[in-house]
Chains A and B, each alone.
Chain A
Amino acid sequence: MFLLVRRDLSQKYRKLKLGYLWAILEPLGMSVTMWFVFEILLGGRKMGGQPYYLFLTVAILPWWWFTSGISSSTKAFLGFSRTLPVSVLPTQFSVVRVLITRTFDFLFSLPLILFAMLITWSFPDIQIGFFFLAFVIQLVLMYGLSLLVASISVLVPDFARIVRIILRAAFYLSPVLYSLALVPEGARSAAALNPLAGILSLYRVGWWPDEHVPGFGYALSFGVSLFFLIAGIITFRRLEHRILKEA
């Protein structure tokens, strides 16, 4: 499995001059732009914890992982359609393969957080441990969602476009640019239904302890993640024979 992932990664980056640096440059560009817009151009309004650049980076990297993972999972089965008829590996390996490739991209981009910590000279406390918890939960959520998205997009070609729209909307609906604490009390539990809300807050609590959402919010976020995992597995099981026919 890891051998296949290594091939995928080396193939993806080999043709590019900057190679693996691209795993870093894309989210870096995004976080710098967002920081410039919201801190310099629209400065003054406090959107979240300070320093804002670090605040953004900590959430944008997982977001980038999420969005690139889900959007490339739309092609997971189609992309491997020539190997599916002969592969004796389980069908869902195509999805796992895409997901692990993207996860490595995310891990490669983590030094950006270190970089942001150094230039803003702010370091996390012991609660940074939640960062790893958030990583695991996001992995669970992404596996479920990838299976769901990959299975459906084999059968419904339009689905990839729908996913793109949903992802774009989800960027603003998730507390990437802002802190969940800024959401009015009444809307907060609705916002917590978004599984990314709890996860992104967990990534941040190492630096900003008041980013913690109430226990209920976490339960909701993680419950929804678990729901997607189960939904993904069930959908895939139901559709597997049709996916294989398309290969």
Chain B
Amino acid sequence: MARVHIDPHLSFAVEFDDVSLTMPRTRRRKGGGRSARLKRLAQETSRVNEPVLEHVSFTVAPGERVAVIDRAKRGHTAELLRLVAGTLIPDHGHVRRNAEVIPILRRAGLINAKLTVRQNIFVVGILLGMSPDEINERMDWIVTTAGLGRVIDSYARACPPELRRRVVWTVSMATQARIFATQGSLIVGDEQYREVGWTHVESLQAEGVTFLVAGQNAPVMERFCTRALVLDGGRIVLDGTVTEALDLVGRSSVVEETDEQVEEDIDLLENRAERDEWRSD
């Protein structure tokens, strides 16, 4: 039932073959003339197709842990991860993978505030390709790992964003996929929970699970990743070790997404959730 075609015989975990992609973006009107200024004032926007990747080819071997860094910080790493997972289709070229890729993006936003935590686990699990039986089977693991003992049957509205991220993270891990594409923190939650996360991720690492991580802070990348890809202007400008990549980009510029960003995400998604409610005309 997968969205994407999987080549089990591929010798790579992920292969990008001459991939190009543009994304539509809304841009504020540019230009200095009177009418352009007026349009800007009226918040009129124009849609442009922004190139994200241009003829990018690379391969990831099974068991590699690749850090993806965007030098220009244009947020193009999310698109790359979506291409890996197959939730975006390239304009040109092919992306191949040898197993199902579980994307871990926009985590807190996946939680529907109007459902209970347990219902959310089912919904997210199904979106990530698990069957209800599998979810039932792994429910105990999810509840203990994410520490949901007390909140499991309360509405997600009452849960702090950090807990929501933890739920989605744990459900993603429960898919037992062989390839993960994660954006934002690889490990979520407070200090205590981070320990649980690290233990789990390191056990996956020992099993030879492939990771592509983006939007991560430098210490975590150095600790976890074996290789780094640096994107700039739609091309890969560096494919080497994490240290090389951090030297090129500058350590301080590689930062984890902040809590504010997460809050912003949630705000945005709450608005969307209202739009989601269908009313018959």
Interface residues of A (CB under 8 A from B): 1, 3-4, 7, 11-12, 26, 67-68, 71-72, 75, 78-91, 98, 164, 240-241, 244-247
Contacts and interface: CB of A to CB of B under 8 A. Distances in A.
A12 B85 CA distance: 31
Given A7-B123, A11-B114, A86 B132 contact: no
Contact of B89 (A71, A86, A240): A240
Contact of B87 (A1, A3, A85): A85
Contacts of A4: 123, 126
A89 B127 contact: yes
A86 B105 contact: yes
7 contacts: A3-B132, A72-B278, A82-B276, A84-B87, A86-B104, A86-B105, A86-B128
Given A87-B127, A88-B127, A79 B280 contact: no
A91 B2 CA distance: 10
A58 B91 CA distance: 48
Contacts of B276: 79-80, 82
B23 interface: yes
B21 to A, nearest CB: 8
Interface in B121-162: 122-123, 126-129, 132
Interface of B: 1-4, 23-24, 78, 82, 85-91, 100-106, 109-110, 114-115, 119, 122-123, 126-129, 132, 269, 272-273, 275-278, 280-281
Contacts of A89: 1, 3, 126-127, 129
B50 to A, nearest CB: 11
Contacts of A78: 275
Nearest to B281: A71
Contacts of A75: 278
Contact of A244 (B87, B101, B102, B123): B87
Nearest to A72: B278
B281 to A, nearest CB: 5
A162 to B, nearest CB: 13
Nearest to A241: B89
Closest 8 CB pairs of A and B: A241-B89, A88-B129, A87-B127, A68-B280, A79-B276, A90-B3, A86-B103, A72-B278
Which residue, B87, B105, B269, has most C-beta atoms of chain A within 10 A? B87
A7 B87 contact: no
A84 to B, nearest CB: 6
A72 B129 CA distance: 25
B162 to A, nearest CB: 19
Contacts of B122: 3, 7
B84 to A, nearest CB: 12
A15 B127 CA distance: 25
Given A88-B100, A240-B89, A83 B115 contact: no
B182 to A, nearest CB: 11
Given A72-B278, A83-B110, 6 more contacts: A78-B275, A82-B273, A83-B127, A84-B87, A85-B106, A86-B128
Contact of A86 (B1, B127, B269, B275): B127
A164 B276 CA distance: 19
A3 B122 CA distance: 8
Contacts of B269: 82
B109 to A, nearest CB: 6
Contacts of A72: 278, 280
Given A3-B126, A4-B123, A7-B115, A87 B278 contact: no
